[in-house]
Amino acid sequence: MPRPTLIRRTLMLACPLIVAASAAANAAEPVDYSAYRLSSDVTVLPVARETAQTPVPAANQDYKVSPRLAGMPFAKLIEGAAREASLDPALVHAVISVESGYNPAARSPKGALGLMQVLPETALRYGIRNAAKSPAANLRAGTRYLSDLMIMFDNRLELVLAAYNAGEGAVLRYGQRIPPFRETQQYVPAVLARYREWRPAQPKIEKVIAPATARTRVTYMPGTVLETDLPHLSTSYR
């Protein structure tokens, strides 16, 4: 029978080799930290009932929904949640459309929940214990997270969406660029395309060129002449 001391020494020598082999295998390709799934990957699973009630403010029904978005599912709830988080409602609609296809019971393989596919730990940041409890709770967590990302990434929408999909840590690790994850690379342009389609029409700014001003010659005294673009003013004193 091998001695206990010999077994311990063997394990101590083998552990570094096992750790090194595992690290080499993980370094072969970038790790996809994405917490969210495109709608094609989303499945509908039974949602566990929450034991404790989580208070969620009701959406403000006084918000007027634009005609462009009035026919969308959950239009009033989304309008209220977006405005309370200082977001364009069209952007929230674009995120929801790609994330869950407006399915409030959607759950991703990684555990993201509801309309905005919010992770439970993300919802807890905003006091929401169950992001699948109701569409209003899910919208409140998702829009506040999206609003925080807008501040973090200085309203650079492509980075905000990449962070919503892959996590803000992934965007920071890759030097504030869209991470090289296939899903995130597809997710960002998909959301942007729908946002451009649904956002309010942008006003056209026309460049106005002021008419040229005639030059004025002012003679103060014989032999002294001043040329100026200003209108002629009287130089006489009284």
User: Annotated catalytic sites, by residue?
Assistant: 99
Rounded Cα gap, residues 25 and 37, in angstroms: 25
163 and 187 in contact (C-beta within 8 Å)? Answer: no
Strand partners, 44: 106
Rounded Cα gap, residues 93 and 102, in angstroms: 9
DSSP classification of residue 61: T
- Per DSSP (E only), the strands in the chain are 43-44, 106-107, 216-221, 224-228
105 and 164 in contact (C-beta within 8 Å)? Answer: no
Rounded Cα gap, residues 25 and 60, in angstroms: 51
> Residue 78 contacts by C-beta under 8 Å, 6 or more apart in sequence?
69, 72, 89, 92, 93, 96, 139
User: Which two three-digit tokens encode residue 116?
Assistant: 């905005």
Residue closest to 103 by CA, chosen among 115, 92, 91: 115
